[in-house]
């Protein structure tokens, strides 16, 4: 996992598309792709907000723009676009970087919304003192490379 920045997006992780990930058309199966994105976006958000206890409440703006193929190396990018009281929304995309041509093929873009929980209830974490402490710690922390 790394965090180089690209137009506001951070690289979260990569996946190699294998035979087991394909649908009968030979394209990357959308369900497999969405599972990768859900997990990657969850990890990304966890590290950005400093709180691990949340669930996915919404998935929208899903656009399968181009097929993924066996052998593709898919890079997943994410960025937080909105926080509410208990919710946080991140935009995520997956891109295949063609090794030989150097061209990028955007495969999917979508948005995930997560809700922070405490004792199994929505928890307004972004209004809490613990979030303010996290933000201050981030501001004071030396930059990671
Ligand atoms: C997430 C959950 C606790 C929210 O409970 P709830 O009673 O609807 O909570 P609230 O109505 O107080 O809403 C909480 C937040 O979620 C947001 N929200 C609710 N439904 C939403 C939706 N469909 N899309 C986006 N945001 C939504 C609200 O706007 C609110 O945001 P805010 O606090 O930032 O203003 C509940 O819906 C749940 O447990 N869902 C199942 C989650 C799950 O199992 N996910 C799959 C596995 S991770």
The per-residue pLDDT for range 53-95, each reduced to its tens digit, is 999 999 999 999 999 999 999 999 999 999 999 999 999 999 9
If you measure from the C-alpha of residue 51 to the centroid of ligand 1, how many angstroms do you get, rounded to a whole number? 16
Q: Does residue 30 contact residue 64 with C-beta atoms inside 8 Å?
A: yes
pLDDT of residue 82: 97
Residue 104, classed as helix, strand or coil, is: strand
- The angle formed by the CA atoms of residues 68, 69 and 70, to the nearest 5 degrees, is 135
DSSP H stretches of helix in the chain: 30-49, 129-140
Q: Which of 115, 121, 125 has most ligand 1 atoms within 8 Å of CB, for mutation?
A: 115
Condensed to tens digits (0 to 9), the pLDDT of residues 99-136 reads 888 899 999 999 999 999 999 999 999 999 999 999 99
Please count the CA atoms within 13 angstroms of the CA of 54 that sit on its side-chain side: 30
pLDDT category at 9 given cuts 50, 70, 90 is very high
pTM over 0.85: yes
Query: What was the pLDDT predicted at 3?
Result: 42
Give the CATH architecture of domain 5-139.
Answer: Roll (3.10)
Give the closest residue (by CA) to ligand 1 atom 45: 56
């Amino acid at each position: 996992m790394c965090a180089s920045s690209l137009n506001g997006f951070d690289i979260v992780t990569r996946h190699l598309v294998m035979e087991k990930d394909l649908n009968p058309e030979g394209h990357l199966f959308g369900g497999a792709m969405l599972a990768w994105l859900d997990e990657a976006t969850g990890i990304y958000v966890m590290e950005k907000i400093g709180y691990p206890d949340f669930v996915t409440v919404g998935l929208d703006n899903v656009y399968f723009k181009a097929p993924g193929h066996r052998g593709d190396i898919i890079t997943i990018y994410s960025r937080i676009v909105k926080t509410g009281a208990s919710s946080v929304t991140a935009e995520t995309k997956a891109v295949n970087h063609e090794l030989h041509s150097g061209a990028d093929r955007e495969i999917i873009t979508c948005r995930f919304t997560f809700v922070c929980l405490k004792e199994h209830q929505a928890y307004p974490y972004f209004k809490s003192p613990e979030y303010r402490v996290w933000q201050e710690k981030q501001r004071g922390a030396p930059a990671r490379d």
